Amino acid sequence: MIVNKNIASFVSMLLIVALTACGGKKQKAHEGEKHEEMGPDRVELTAEQAKVAGVALGSVEMRPLSGILKVSGMVTVAPDRSASVCTPLGGYVKSIAVMPGKLVQKGQVLSVVENQEFIDIQQNYVEARNKLEFAQAEYKRHNELYKNDVYSQKSVQQTTSDYNNLRAQVRALGQKLALVGINPARLNENNISRAIAVRAPISGYVKAVNVSIGKYAASADPMFEIVDCSQLMLELTLFEKDASKVSDGQEIRFFINDEAEPHRAQMLQTGKTIGADRTYKVYARVTGKCKNLMPGMYVRADVKAGTEAVTAVPSEAVVGFDDKHYIFVFEKSKTENGKPVSEYRMVQVGIGVADKGFTEIVLPAGFDMKSARIVVKGAYTLLSAAKNAGEMSC
C-alpha cells in the first residue's frame, strides 16, 4: 500500500542546498541573463542535490503481482440449504411443535393444520378408487364378451373410456393427497382425517415461526423458515474495477465482529453482472468449523488477488499528494550556471495491488514505458521540490 509520507523533512534539507546551488542563477537573472521557465509538472536538481537526495533511476517493468483486496459482505447459505415451509391447501393451525432456534431433521413434524378440504379430498379419493375397482372388473368382462361376439364394439369403447377416466381421476386425487402429506396407499374408509402434519423439507435450524395456534395459514404464507448451517457461504461485494483480480478457487480470510482470529473460505463463484452501483457479487464457501458464525452476520474479508503480469515499479517510486499518485520521469541533462542539472517530469498514475516491494501502476495514454527512465529512489525529494518550486527550482 502506498502511504503519503511527511515531506516536510525534505524541504529544509533541499532549501539549504537550493540556496547555495541556485543563488548564482538568481543573481545573474537580475543582471539580465535569460532564465528558462518550467511548467508546474517539471522540477530540476543539480548533481549535488541529486546526490544528497539519493536519486536513482530505473524503469517500468512487467511483473507478476498478487495483492490483497479488502472487501465486505455477509454470511449466507446456498438456496438449496434454506426452506420456507407452507401448507399447499392452507388450513387452521391446531398445534405447533417447534420454536425458533430448534434443530429439526428432514421429515420431522413442525405443525398440525386442519381444513375441511382435506376431508373432501380423501372422501373423493376413496370413492373414486372404489368406482375404479368396479370399472376395472366391467372392463375385463366386456372385453371377454366382445371376443365372444356378445357385446358390440360401441359398448366396449364406452366401458373402456369410463375405466380410463376413473384411472386418471384416482391418480390425480392421489397426487393431491401426496401434496398435502397423505399417503394414498394407506388411506381407506376408516382413517379419513381432518388434519394433516406439516413436516420439515430439510434438516436445519428453525429460523422463524410465523404462525400461532388457531391462525389460518394460507397456501402462500410461509409458516416456518429453516436454515441448514452445516455449509455456510459468504456473499461479498466487490467494485467493478476489481473484477479481473478474482477467480474461482482463490483463498479468502474473513473476520466477524471484533474477533482478531481469521476464518477461512474459498471462492466458489464470481459474479457475471454489474449492479447499478457499479459493484458485483462473489460467493465463497466457508472452510473449517466456525463456532460463532451465523447467517446474516456482517464480515470483513481479505481476498488474495490473482497473480498476473502488470506494469509495476518499486513502491518507493510512487508518491502521493492530495489523494493523487505520481512518478517522476527523467527528461534531460543540461548545464546551468556552469553546473550539471537534471530535469524531471511529474506524471500522474493510477495504482493497483502492491506485493513484494512493487506496486502496480496504470500509465497515462501514450506513455512509452520502454524508453522512459523513472526515479526509483528519492522521488519524495522531487515531490518536495515540485511543491516548493519558488524556493527549490534552479
- Of the pLDDT bands very low, low, confident and very high (cuts 50, 70, 90), residue 337 is confident
pLDDT given at position 110:
96
Query: Which of the following CATH numbers is that of domain 69-78+231-305: 3.40.50.11060, 3.90.226.10, 1.10.1040.50, 2.40.30.170?
Result: 2.40.30.170
Q: Does the pLDDT value for residue 163 go beyond 80?
A: yes
Which tens digit of pLDDT belongs to each residue from 344-354? 999 999 987 77
Average confidence (pLDDT) over 328-336: 90
pLDDT given at position 56:
92
Task: Evaluate whether the domain defined by 80-110+198-228 bears CATH number 2.40.30.10.
Answer: no
195 vs 109: CA distance, rounded Å = 13
Backbone angles phi, psi at 71, to 5 degrees: -135, 175
Which tens digit of pLDDT belongs to each residue from 356-371? 889 989 899 989 988 9
More confidently predicted of 227 and 303:
227
Which tens digit of pLDDT belongs to each residue from 284-318? 999 877 777 888 899 999 887 766 788 899 999 99
Q: Could you tell me the residue ranges of all domains in the chain?
A: 8-66+309-392, 69-78+231-305, 80-110+198-228, 116-193
Which tens digit of pLDDT belongs to each residue from 105-133? 999 999 999 999 999 999 999 999 999 98
Question: What are 56's strand-pairing partners?
Answer: 377
pLDDT given at position 127:
93
Same fold, 8-66+309-392 and 69-78+231-305: no
Query: CA nearest 310: which of 270, 267, 350, 250?
Result: 350
Query: CA nearest 246: which of 293, 279, 286?
Result: 279
- Of the pLDDT bands very low, low, confident and very high (cuts 50, 70, 90), residue 16 is very low
Please report which residue ranges of 66-152 form alpha helices under DSSP H. 116-147
Q: What is the DSSP letter of 201?
A: S
Task: Give kind and range of the element (H or E) at residue 47.
Answer: helix 47-53
Query: CA nearest 381: which of 5, 25, 3?
Result: 5
pLDDT given at position 19:
35
Which tens digit of pLDDT belongs to each residue from 23-46? 334 434 444 444 556 677 888 888
Of the spans 94-98, 138-142, 216-220, which averages the highest pLDDT?
Answer: 94-98
303 vs 72: CA distance, rounded Å = 10
SS (H, E, C) 328-394: EEEEEEEEECCEEEEEEEEEEEEEEEEECCEEEEECCCCCCCCCCCEEEECHHHHHHHHHCHHHHCC
**Structurally, what CATH architecture does the domain formed by 8-66+309-392 represent?**
Beta Barrel (2.40)
287 vs 139: CA distance, rounded Å = 63
203 vs 97: CA distance, rounded Å = 15
361 vs 327: CA distance, rounded Å = 9
pLDDT given at position 389:
58
Q: Are 323 and 348 in contact (CB under 8 A)?
A: no
Task: Evaluate whether the domain defined by 116-193 bears CATH number 1.10.357.
Answer: no
pTM for the structure as a whole: 0.58
